[in-house]
Amino acid sequence: MDVEPRMSRFRTLGWKSFLGVAGLALLGGCAQVGSPAGGPKDETPPQLLDTEPPIGATQVRPERLVLRFDEYVKAGQWRPQLLVSPPLEGPMDVVVRGREVELTWEAELRENTTYVFQFGDGVVDVNEGNPAQNLVHAFSTGPHLDTLAVMGTVRDGMDGSPEVGSRVLLYPEDLPLDSVLAGVAPQFVGVTNDQGQFSVGYLPNGAYRVLAVEDANRNYAWDAGERAAVGPVNAGAGDTVALALVAGETPGPRAPYLSEARWDSTGFVTWKLSERLLPGDSLSWVQPCSVELLEADRDVVRAWGWSEASDSLVLQLVWHHAPLWPKGEWWTDTVDVPAPRMTGLSPLALKEKPLGRWMPDALPSLTWSAPVAEVDVTRLALTVDSVPLVPMVEGPFPSMKSTLGNPELLSWNAEVALTVLPGALKRAGESEYNWPEDTLDVVWSTKAQSDVAEWVLRLEGVDCPGLLELSDHQGVRMDVVAVVSDTVLTWPRLVPGKVRATWWGDLDGDGVWRDVDVPTWRAPEPVAKMEAVELRANWVVESSWRLDSTACGPHP
């Protein structure tokens, strides 16, 4: 036998500041009430069975709304979720009695007015906290109920997939954008379904600014970092043309930091960066410092020259972010540098070396586990195709990496052998050449020209500027080319495997692809992706790709 939960009562004041919302049709489904312990989890939201007055009623002037559900519910978070259009003056109360929610108010209703109540996620079931979906109630105090709607879809700008569960916010056409950005509550609200479709109903005749947001914190506003899609600023209620909104990422607040700070007796110091450095990024001290920055490795920051006296220094790093696009702008972050803790001295070791068949498009390097101050080239032996060469080791020092500068190492189909004799390297912070203890042999070969592939891409249907990106099967960028018209692009030295072309529309021709920008009310520039192409060694693969001309359509 069900035991009725204790009645709960809530009260709030100051609803004058809330603007209204609009509704979607209530979703149907089966409820799963009170699952026994150990049984399947109840994932079905409460279903609305009945209301007083009925949804869509006209010529009514109620003093309360009653919502009846198919299972026990609670409404502890109803206040920030409930939006009413037009807003009601004075306090409102909610009383929950088992399966029933009663909303009351003291304000006098206007004559000949449609009132819309949207509860958001404010009503949930008792067992699992599943919120009732699209819970909207509307009635009219006059003979006419507003029934116009704004309809459309919201899709991801990258792959066209539907944006599910986005909140579609409608603001009065004449509301300044600054007010929207400041978080003023929308006048009407809808939610996208599993197809990315929305229909915001119960609208009076008028025009509205349309914004779709991820709304992760459920505050009926866009916050920096939330996915968003901007729509028209004057969408007409009742228009029969469905809106097509394109969603994208928005930059959120950033606060990068350093952690896991440690140093050893040689003065070698490392920190862990909270985010990865991207190709082209660099670091520098805010103020000149005797501690020398070394090559960073993904999210590890390295330096040399730390001492006990350095612990008293107040240091900051400038993180210089390289632009992703050819004509993009650099930007920076400032990061506080914590003093490191002393750790034991770890042995010097070879961490990375040329392996297998090396593509001869860059000089090979050896990477060490700690900074090396000097290399005694008389203790190195280098041969290319059994021909002895005088090793050339490029600086600067101290460094985590030793690059071999002999131009013969860029030859095709070459066999390379490098011998590092004992005592060839001096570790930074030490006075003697003392590594390695035993002879170290490193051998590799370079690829033959028959090992690589050539890709010829014929790009057609280019009706507006764009950026053509070439990436490998892991999505790593290999090239970016600006295109303004139909063209033929050739890449003659590619490693066999799958490659992909992506066209990033550059409609304003500024050399930068831009995602959605809510503060300037700008939709993302278009993107088109070509199917992956398989490249084989010693093959020339020719492909044609015709862009969809609609990608160059109107752009807000």
Q: CATH fold of 148-247, please?
A: Immunoglobulin-like (2.60.40)
Distances (CA, A) of 65 to 76, 92, 138, 249, 437: 17, 11, 10, 39, 84
Mean pLDDT of 335-350: 95
Q: In Å, how far are 462, 511, 512 from 508, measured between CA atoms?
A: 14, 8, 9
pLDDT at 93 over 50: yes
| Side-chain half-sphere CA neighbours of 516 within 13 A | 26
Top pLDDT among 383 and 297 is at: 383
Q: From 3.30.365.10, 1.10.357.10, 2.120.10.70, 2.60.40.10, which CATH number describes the 452-552 domain?
A: 2.60.40.10
User: Tell me, which fold does domain 8-140 have in CATH?
Assistant: Immunoglobulin-like (2.60.40)
8-140 and 452-552: same fold?
yes
| Beta-sheet pairing, 243-247 with 148-156 | parallel
Pairing of strands 365-375, 393-394: unpaired
pLDDT band at 402 (very low <50, low <70, confident <90, very high): very high
Is the pTM of the predicted complex or chain greater than 0.85?
Answer: no
Question: Per-residue pLDDT for 193 more than 70?
Answer: yes
Res. 553 pLDDT band, cuts 50 70 90? low
CA distance 434 to 425: 6
Query: Average pLDDT, whole number, for the chain?
Result: 90
pLDDT of 548 > 90? The answer is no
In this model, does residue 2 exceed pLDDT 60?
no
What pLDDT does 36 receive? Answer: 46
Whether the pLDDT of residue 13 is over 50: the answer is no
* pLDDT of residue 190 exceeding 80: yes
Whether the pLDDT of residue 28 is over 70: the answer is no
Tokens in use for 382? Answer: 């280098």
pLDDT digits (tens, 9 = 90+) for 371-388: 999 999 999 999 999 999
Copy the structure tokens of residue 488: 């033929």
pLDDT digits (tens, 9 = 90+) for 409-423: 999 999 999 999 999
Here the tokens at position 54 are: 């009925």
User: What's CA 374's distance to the chain center, in Å?
Assistant: 43
pLDDT at 517 over 60: yes
CATH of the domain spanning 350-449:
2.60.40.1220
pLDDT of residue 20 exceeding 50: no
Tell whether the model's pLDDT for residue 122 goes beyond 80: yes
* Cα separation, 226 vs 215, whole angstroms: 7
Look at 32-41, 122-131, 289-298 and tell me which has the smallest mean pLDDT. Answer: 32-41
What is the arithmetic mean of pLDDT over 135-155?
96
CATH of 258-342, one of 2.20.200, 2.60.40, 3.30.70, 3.40.390: 2.60.40
Q: Is residue 3 very low, low, confident or very high in pLDDT (cuts 50, 70, 90)?
A: very low
Domain layout of the chain by residue ranges? 8-140, 148-247, 258-342, 350-449, 452-552
Q: Of the ranges 177-181, 214-218, 340-344, 457-461, which one carries the lowest mean pLDDT score?
A: 214-218
pLDDT band at 30 (very low <50, low <70, confident <90, very high): very low
